[in-house]
Chains A and B, each alone.
Chain A
Amino acid sequence: GENVEQHPSTLSVQEGDSAVIKCTYSDSASNYFPWYKQELGKRPQLIIDIRSNVGEKKDQRIAVTLNKTAKHFSLHITETQPEDSAVYFCAAPAGGTSYGKLTFGQGTILTVHP
């Protein structure tokens, strides 16, 4: 099955700085990589995703990059704000190409200091 490793486990930045979270996956057949943001006591919220036919995708201050050769993908948040503070999870579909059976990373606790 798929194995997803996420680093770092905690990340502390000053408001306005950039934050980068990295994930590696094991199944070379995987072709869909979502990122979720989970605030304390709330549901995971899909913030951005990327499919294997592109190397980068941006949505305002958030971007995701994918390196299929190295089997890793990263979340980039620019101009961080205190409301970006949350736990971020990467995920990849277990069993290769299936979107349904997501395997999640261990999570990164991001803290943005005003």
Chain B
Amino acid sequence: DAGVTQSPTHLIKTRGQQVTLRCSPKSGHDTVSWYQQALGQGPQFIFQYYEEEERQRGNFPDRFSGHQFPNYSSELNVNALLLGDSALYLCASSLGAPGGEQYFGPGTRLTVT
């Protein structure tokens, strides 16, 4: 039974660039939520995708956007990167909308220089 997977593991970008992060949900799950975790803090909700639509959104600017594909996998895109975007980006998968128990992937460590 495949768990939640994310790619890449690490990423280094320059301020102003754009980045795309990818997530494949746990087998049998159809909902993907994205979180940003700054060092020493708890995860902060970015948005959630279900049936290929953004269903809920946290307090993040429009520079953060996403997509969900028919196979339930998802992408997180961040434009015009800022130094403050450096963080661990986690995706969590669940079943149904707004979703049951959420299981996290290993995360993508993004460093913006």
With A43-B104, A43-B105, A44-B104 in contact, do A100 and B55 touch (Cβ < 8 Å)? yes
Q: Which of A14-22, A56-64, A73-81, A103-111 contacts B (4 or more CB under 8 A)?
A: A103-111
Tell me the minimal C-beta distance from B28 to chain A in angstroms.
16
With A34-B101, A99-B100 in contact, do A44 and B43 touch (Cβ < 8 Å)? yes
Are B48 and A101 in contact, CB atoms less than 8 angstroms apart? yes
Partner pick for A104 among B44, B55, B105, CB 8 A cutoff = B44
Q: Which of B62-70, B72-80, B91-99 contacts A (4 or more CB under 8 A)?
A: B91-99
Interface class of chain B by DSSP: loop
A34, A43, A45, A107: which has the most chain B beta carbons within 10 Å? A43
Chain B, residue nearest A36 (CB):
B104
Question: Which residues of B1-42 are within 8 A (CB) of A?
Answer: 4, 31, 33, 35, 40-42
Are B33 and A100 in contact, CB atoms less than 8 angstroms apart? yes
Chain A, residue nearest B106 (CB):
A43
Are B48 and A100 in contact, CB atoms less than 8 angstroms apart? yes
Are B98 and A43 in contact, CB atoms less than 8 angstroms apart? no
In whole angstroms, how far apart are the Cα atoms of A42 and B104 in the complex? 10
| A93: chain B residues within 8 A (beta carbon) | 98
Query: CB-defined interface of B36-64 with A at 8 Å, one 1/0 digit per residue?
Result: 00001111110010000001101000000
Partner pick for A106 among B33, B41, B45, CB 8 A cutoff = B41
Tell me the minimal C-beta distance from B23 to chain A in angstroms.
12
With A100-B31, A100-B94, A101-B56 in contact, do A34 and B45 touch (Cβ < 8 Å)? no
Partner pick for B42 among A34, A42, A105, CB 8 A cutoff = A105
Are B56 and A98 in contact, CB atoms less than 8 angstroms apart? yes
Residues of B participating in the A interface, judged by any CB pair closer than 8 Å: 4, 31, 33, 35, 40-45, 48, 55-56, 58, 90, 94, 97-107
- A sample of 21 inter-chain contacts (CB < 8 A) reads A36-B104, A42-B106, A43-B90, A43-B107, A46-B101, A49-B101, A89-B43, A95-B56, A99-B98, A99-B100, A99-B102, A100-B48, A100-B94, A100-B98, A101-B58, A102-B102, A103-B45, A104-B44, A106-B42, A107-B40, A107-B42
